[in-house]
Amino acid sequence: MRDLANNLHFVPAFQPKAAVTDNTAQVSAILDRRGYEAVALALVTGVQSDADATFTVLLEESDASDMTGATAVDDADLIGTEALASFTFAEDGVCRKLGYVGNKRYLRATITPANNTGNLFVAGLWVLGGARSLPTANPPA
């Protein structure tokens, strides 16, 4: 009951990198959720140095590994909302999460800045659960 480590798997979504200083959309690594029933996107912000920037999160799904034909995830297939996962310049060092309960195999997230002339620092992980084979790999592969 207390063993969480062997029941979860982590995949990089947004790797830490140099600050984004403009409105370039940040696109996650594509997640292949094969072998897992549950998925969430976990984000953590750094210190945002702009005075009025906003950062909007979008989750897309597809049956194709290259995200061909990707569509925005229907609200009924989300746990939480994209609005709750989004953040502003004033939210330094905060975590956000967005769950997915749909049945498409591939997911991609996009964070779109607006009014960003400062620094956007963000990192994120895909958190997978409901593994069809336990324990999950350590370290995650």
When pLDDT is cut at 50, 70 and 90, the band that residue 98 belongs to is very high
Domain spanning 18-131 has what CATH number? 2.60.120.380
Q: Is the pLDDT of residue 51 over 90?
A: no
Q: Is the pLDDT of residue 1 over 80?
A: no
Q: Is the pLDDT of residue 141 over 90?
A: no
Closest CA to 59 of 86, 37, 38, 35: 86
Domain ranges of the chain: 18-131
pLDDT digits (tens, 9 = 90+) for 56-85: 999 999 999 999 999 999 999 999 999 999
Instruction: Give the DSSP H or E segment for 99.
Output: strand 95-100
Contacts of 19 (CB under 8 A, 6+ apart): 46, 49, 119, 120, 121
Q: Quick one: pLDDT at residue 84?
A: 97
pLDDT digits (tens, 9 = 90+) for 109-123: 999 999 999 899 999
